[in-house]
């Protein structure tokens, strides 16, 4: 409602300003030249400008009517007599109306073209996104599947010759690869849900709850990892899809675990700033490659800094791209940068509830 009123006032003010300038120009020229032929052309230009740069037919119609009155007044200057009906008056009004309708019709076609063009661009972007998603998924799937197949082949072909320690190592690797596939499947489903335009079901959630749940789930696979979570004293409620935001935190936490190692500390700090909940995750790992940091969230990328060759194949992959997709669908932003003392920081924001904004102010 406020936007409609703002648009109405803007277009009305623009219309009146243009017509006033046209009338003023006629008045100035009229004092220099006694002829009145110029008045029609000036008001015609005014009608063209109003019709072109306002939305809807009503402003063009109003400009035509007021231009007819102004033109008729200038013709009868200095007596300023207004007579109706008048053939000359009717003809000028008809001319203004025809010009206005033609231009407004062209405006409508231009808007339709822009809308269709925007839809086409959006469709192309979605198509490219899905291609990148599939490419990243195929890349991430290949590594754990290869590991599972290799372990299975070893157990089948040489099972009797392998000692218990080697057997447990193969089974542990297989389990880890299966867990990674499960996480990857969740990422793909989350990205597909958002990219397909499926409405996100948002509910007010406490940020400390989603952080605690994410850390607890991550600890099942990284039991020795040292993770410190800092939350504000006040309760921060954020409209979110709990599962999707949890997926984002798990992706970022797991990425930090892979790069930092269990001996290093990972810090997750949550605060409020300018009506937003701010999540900052800092690690002491190897940082982010300079050649990929600028396009880190644009498409699946793969860093080459991880010392563990097996983890190097999977340390970023599709996860960060999914994070960006989910955060932007919530109306937030996400970024990353390298720390001066080493490691990297990932930062994302989510809009707070309106009540939280008022309390913060």
User: Measuring CA to CA, which residue among 221, 240, 137, 211 is closest to residue 181?
Assistant: 137
User: Measuring CA to CA, which residue among 173, 184, 175 is closest to residue 142?
Assistant: 184
**E runs forming strands in the chain:** 203-206, 226-230, 237-240, 265-273, 276-282, 334-338, 344-351
pLDDT value of position 315: 45
Q: Where are the domains of the chain?
A: 2-120, 203-361
Q: Report residue 225's pLDDT band, with 50, 70 and 90 as the boundaries.
A: confident
Regarding predicted confidence, which is higher, 239 or 36?
239
Whole-model pTM above 0.85?
A: no
pLDDT value of position 310: 46
Q: Report residue 314's pLDDT band, with 50, 70 and 90 as the boundaries.
A: very low
Q: Report residue 313's pLDDT band, with 50, 70 and 90 as the boundaries.
A: very low
Query: What are the tokens at 268?
Result: 């997750």
Nearest-angstrom CA–CA distance, 268 and 276: 16
Nearest-angstrom CA–CA distance, 228 and 269: 8
Contact 320, 251 (CB under 8 A): yes
Q: 39-43, 95-99, 189-193, 296-300 — which one is most confidently predicted on average?
A: 95-99
Percent of the chain residues topping a pLDDT of 90: 17
pLDDT value of position 1: 66
Query: What are the tokens at 1?
Result: 């409602």
Query: What are the tokens at 158?
Result: 């040489």
Beta bridge partners of 301: 317
Residue 359 pLDDT exceeds 50: no
Mean pLDDT, residues 113-121 taken together: 88
pLDDT value of position 305: 41
* Domain 203-361 sits in CATH 3.20.20.300: no
């Amino acid at each position: 409602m406020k936007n409609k009123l703002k648009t109405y006032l803007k277009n009305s003010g623009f219309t009146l300003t243009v017509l006033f300038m046209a009338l003023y120009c006629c008045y100035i020229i009229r004092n220099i030249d006694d002829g009145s032929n110029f008045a029609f052309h000036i008001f015609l230009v005014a009608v063209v400008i109003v019709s072109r740069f306002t939305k809807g037919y009503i402003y063009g119609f109003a400009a035509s009517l007021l231009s007819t009155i102004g033109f008729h007044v200038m013709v009868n200057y200095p007596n300023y007599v207004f007579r109706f009906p008048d053939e000359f008056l009717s003809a000028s009004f008809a001319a203004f109306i025809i010009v206005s309708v033609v231009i407004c019709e062209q405006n409508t076609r231009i808007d339709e073209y822009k809308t269709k063009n925007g839809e086409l661009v959006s469709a192309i972007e979605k198509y490219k996104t899905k291609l990148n998603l599939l490419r990243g998924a195929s890349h991430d799937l290949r590594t754990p599947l290869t590991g599972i197949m290799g372990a299975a082949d070893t157990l089948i072909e040489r099972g009797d010759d392998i000692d218990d320690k080697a057997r447990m190592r193969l089974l542990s690797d297989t389990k880890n690869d299966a867990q990674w596939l499960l996480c990857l499947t969740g990422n793909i489903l989350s990205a597909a849900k958002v990219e397909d335009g499926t409405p996100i079901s948002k509910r007010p959630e406490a940020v400390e709850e989603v952080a605690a749940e994410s850390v607890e789930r991550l600890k099942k696979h990284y039991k020795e990892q040292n993770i410190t979570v800092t939350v504000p004293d006040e309760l921060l409620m954020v409209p979110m899809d709990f599962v999707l935001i949890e997926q984002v935190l798990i992706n970022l936490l797991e990425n930090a675990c892979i790069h930092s190692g269990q001996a290093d500390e990972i810090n997750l700090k949550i605060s409020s700033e300018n009506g937003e909940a701010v999540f900052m995750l800092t690690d002491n790992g190897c940082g982010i490659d300079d050649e990929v940091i600028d396009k880190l969230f644009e498409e699946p990328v793969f860093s080459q800094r991880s010392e563990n060759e097996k983890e190097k194949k999977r340390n970023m992959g599709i996860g960060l791209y999914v994070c960006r997709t989910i955060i932007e669908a919530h109306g937030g932003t996400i970024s990353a940068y390298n720390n001066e003392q080493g490691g990297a920081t990932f930062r994302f924001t989510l809009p707070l509830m309106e009540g939280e904004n008022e309390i913060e102010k």
